[in-house]
Structure 1
Amino acid sequence: MTDTTLANFPRAGFRRRFGSWIYDLLIIIAIFMLSGYVCVALFVALDAMGLISIARSGFGIDWNATHLAYKVAFNFWCVAWVCLFFIYFWSKKGQTLGMRAWRLRLQNRDGSLLSKTTAIKRLLPTLLGLGNLWVIVDRKNKLSLQDRVTNTEVVVLSLEANRGRL
């Protein structure tokens, strides 16, 4: 399927976007937890080697007694993995797993896939999904805040077009 045929689908409304957001939220929670476990394992390994010193209570890290830099590093690590999830799927397929379930596709207005740079620019105005609330106000154009900032759109694919994207 060419990019020109993908440019002719209707834009997605708020309900579909919200449904997709719920699906992706579950995946994001899993990514955040898994990356958190990996980060804690790295901290414990570095502590065991004597390279860093973390406050521990039992097996886990005592985050209240741990230096602020470790807390910032932990959260940055987890958020970075969540951001990489979106950047990868938006630029590679135009769909996250939640978007695929709801037959949504993120694309440039000409129907082409986003570049990694555009996907990164899209992350900030997304505001954890709150940028999609603008679709409720803009019923005519059905563009969210992040769509307007990055000159992109979210379209609803037909069943055939969504199946063909495997």
Structure 2
Amino acid sequence: MSDSMNAQSLPPAGLIRRLAAFVYDSFIIAAVVMMAAGVVVALLQALVASGVISYAPYTDVGDFLTSHPFWGPIYTAYLAIVWIGFLTFFWVRAGQTLGMRAWKLELQNEQGGRISTTQALIRIATSAFGLANLLVPLDPQKRGFHDIWAKTQVVVLPKAR
């Protein structure tokens, strides 16, 4: 977005458009998380095949990663960090995820600029996995619960000419 265009000149995004971008991004995030998980599984399988480690008494690497009392929570945290990192990276750097770009949406701070990493993390922590968007039709400024807490807004970009 150009600096000459302020946030007040762009209309706020409605619920349907936000949900469409959310669904689009969900598929992308699922693919990214699967690739991140695949890297860990491949690494562990290589270590098992070379005899460096053993995942006994677990039946396989998947059982080990989800059931082990120490490595299970670390693996889950790793996948959560990948997911949170994806959103934070795109929101802070470009103001848009790929789904938001497809639906011509942009995430901004209240002044119309890029959001901070702190705002991105607050937004994720208060989003309730997308349910925070259900407040959008009830708020006069069309903000979700997470937007209010993070002091952000989602606007609709103008169509390219």
One fold, TM greater than 0.5?
yes
Match of 1:137 in 2: 138
Query: How far is the alpha carbon of 1:63 from its aligned partner?
Result: 3.9
Partner Cα separation in structure 2 for residue 76 and residue 9 of structure 1: 37
CA distance change for structure 1 residues 96 and 6 in 2, over 3 Å: closer, same or farther?
A: farther
- 1:106-163 Cα offsets, whole Å, 9 max, x none, are 001111001122212211001211111111322x210101110011100000112xx8
Q: 1:40 to 1:65 in 2, by over 3 A?
A: closer
Does 1:35 pair with 2:56? no
CA contact (8 A) 1:54 1:67 kept: no
- Structure 2 Cα separation of the partners of residues 78 and 64 of structure 1: 11
| 1:8-87 → structure 2 map (5 Å cutoff) | 8-47=9-48, 48=50, 50=52, 53-55=54-56, 56-57=58-59, 60-63=61-64, 66-87=67-88
Please tell me whether the aligned partners of residues 24 and 98 of structure 1 are also in contact (alpha carbons under 8 angstroms): yes
Shift of 1:53: 4.2
- SS of residue in 1 equivalent to 2:12: coil
Gaps of 5+ in 1: none
1:46 Cα deviation after fit: 4.5
Give the match's secondary structure for 1:95. Answer: coil
Taking structure 1 as the reference length, what is the TM-score of the superposition?
A: 0.85
For 1:88-103, what aligned pairs fall within 5 Å after superposition? 88-103=89-104
Is the 1:39–1:77 contact (alpha carbons within 8 Å) kept by the matching residues of 2?
no
Instruction: Name 2:118's counterpart in structure 1.
Output: 117
> How far 1:49 moved relative to its partner?
5.6
Aligned residues: percent identity? 38
Task: Measure, in 2, the Cα distance between the counterparts of 1:135 and 1:6.
Answer: 21
Change (3 A) 1:145 1:74: same
